[in-house]
Amino acid sequence: MEKAYQIQVFGRVQGVGFRYFTQRKAQETDVKGFAKNMPDGSVFIEAEGKVQDLEVFIQWIKKGPSWAMVTQFNITELPPAGYENFSIH
């Protein structure tokens, strides 16, 4: 079963390679979508894939790479958009 989520991650998540690590983890877990920096300093992610793959991906995103610090994490379910890969914007 496929699901999709809109995720916004706050904290020290820009300028620390967060989007690139997100992309690598998405590729490892077969999650599709994108990640982009937002003007408020957060990272915005749309992610879709199989439920079990998304669970692994989301747990990783909540923690982030070692030099990032996630302080807040918002997630909303949305309809799948049919992404073919995971890109960085």
pLDDT digits (tens, 9 = 90+) for 28-78: 999 999 999 999 999 999 999 999 999 999 999 999 999 999 999 999 999
DSSP the chain: -EEEEEEEEEEE-SSSSHHHHHHHHHHHHT-EEEEEE-TTS-EEEEEEEEHHHHHHHHHHHHH-STT-EEEEEEEEEE-----SSEEE-
- Where along the chain do its domains lie? 2-83
- Span 2-83 CATH architecture: 2-Layer Sandwich (3.30)
Give the amino acid at 66.
Answer: S
The predicted pLDDT at position 58 comes to 96
Q: Which residues are catalytic?
A: 19, 37
With 80 as the cut, is the pLDDT of residue 1 above it? no
| The pLDDT of residue 20 is above 80 | yes
Mean pLDDT of 13-37: 96
C-alpha–C-alpha distance, residues 68 and 74, integer Å: 17
